Structure 1
Amino acid sequence: MFSRLPRALYNPTLSRIPRITTVLHYRKTQVSAPLLVRRCHSGRGGASLASALIPNDIKRNKPQHVAEATQLSKEDYSSLVEVYFEAVIEYTGHAQGEGFSITLEHRNDVITITAPGIGDYFLQRQHRTHQIWLYSPISGSKDYDWVVDGLKQYVDDGVTMGEWLHLSDGTNLSDVLNTELGLKMEMLFG
């Protein structure tokens, strides 16, 4: 009979004993599996054991993102965006050829990609800030800057490798389009 009642009702002294619950924490770190953490709760707001159970190296290993975009001239920005937009159009055509029912419209400085069941994606040039703006019905809107990482920089015959990145979280524009739309865009360069 007592099994269906909260333990504090049939034994008031138990209401002061902390409950232990299990919480899964997902982190954007190099740890591939979710981190299992036990927290101790008491009726009075109790202390959390999570900080004691998480190793210090995980606490300190926050993802490192690029701090700033590569400075571009107007001509460089225009040519990089043109190359990228042409690649988006090309890879969208490949996806359509493979049976994906997505449509693409390119007008002036805006590419609109419509994916049935998902919604409309907008890629737009931002001339003033030298960025590409993406609106995604899945991941929201973000600005992407051209970034050439000094450690990964590759220069051959005047071609510099780089990528369009969202500076605050490090996401790659091509990766977002590949993941959400099923495109198979490869590393692009300018």
Structure 2
Amino acid sequence: MPDAENPKPKELDSQDTPSKATELSIEEFHERADHYLGELLQRLEEAQENDPAIEVDYSAGVLEVTLQQNTFVLNKQPPNKQIWYSSPISGPKRFDWVVSQEGMSEKEGCGIGDWVYLRDGSSLTEIIRKELGVDVSVDDEVPR
């Protein structure tokens, strides 16, 4: 049981924070990023049906969400193979695809993965859940 009502978050040690992105071809990057952004767009549109104060706009590969007078922007950056996220809450971050658990029988790049900010190990999925209130399931099974 924690000593305080609001315990200090666990500090990441170097073993918990990924040090590099998983190698992806440009095609794999587009598949994973498009799948993730598509799932996020679907969840946001579902949330928008229940709360008309949420504004969602997806155009030219840029997803813009306005929530409680705050604007959040997500977009793919193919040259870097990253998803960039700009938030008035957490600031700008650049997320790389990182596989956290690879099975010995699986090929490289497969396994359980997520979009991760390599500087602090934060997950885009967790940040989206906290800041936008939607849950995007992390699923490495991208349709081919």
Q: Bin the TM-score by the shorter chain.
A: 0.7 to 0.9
Report percent identity of matched pairs: 27
* 1:95 paired residue among 32, 37, 47: 47
Ranges in structure 2 where 5+ consecutive residues have no aligned partner: 1-6
Structure (1/2) with the larger helix percentage = 1
Is 1:153–2:102 an aligned residue pair? Answer: yes
Q: Which structure has the larger Rg?
A: 1
TM-score by length of 1: 0.62
Q: Cα distance, 1:176 vs. partner? A: 0.6
Is 1:79–2:31 an aligned residue pair? Answer: yes
Q: Does the 8 Å contact 1:29/1:62 carry over to 2?
A: no
CA RMSD of aligned residues (A): 2.4
Q: Cα distance, 1:160 vs. partner? A: 3.8
Q: Secondary structure at the match of 2:53?
A: coil
Task: Report the Cα distance in structure 1 between the residues aligned to 2:137 and 2:30, rounded to whole angstroms.
Answer: 20
Q: Cα distance, 1:100 vs. partner? A: 5.9
Is 1:29–2:10 an aligned residue pair? Answer: yes
Q: Cα distance, 1:163 vs. partner? A: 0.4
Give the aligned partner of residue 171 of structure 1: 122
Q: Which has the higher contact order (CA 8 A, sep 6+)?
A: 2
Task: Report the Cα distance in structure 1 between the residues aligned to 2:79 and 2:124, rounded to whole angstroms.
Answer: 19
Is 1:124–2:75 an aligned residue pair? Answer: yes
Q: Does the 8 Å contact 1:130/1:145 carry over to 2?
A: yes
Ranges in structure 1 where 5+ consecutive residues have no aligned partner: 1-25, 31-60
Q: Secondary structure at the match of 1:138?
A: coil
TM-score by length of 2: 0.80
Aligned residue pairs: how many?
131
1:57-114 per-residue CA deviation (whole Å, 9 max, x = no partner) reads xxxx736200100011010001111101101111101212333621111111211111
* 2:59 paired residue among 85, 99, 107: 107
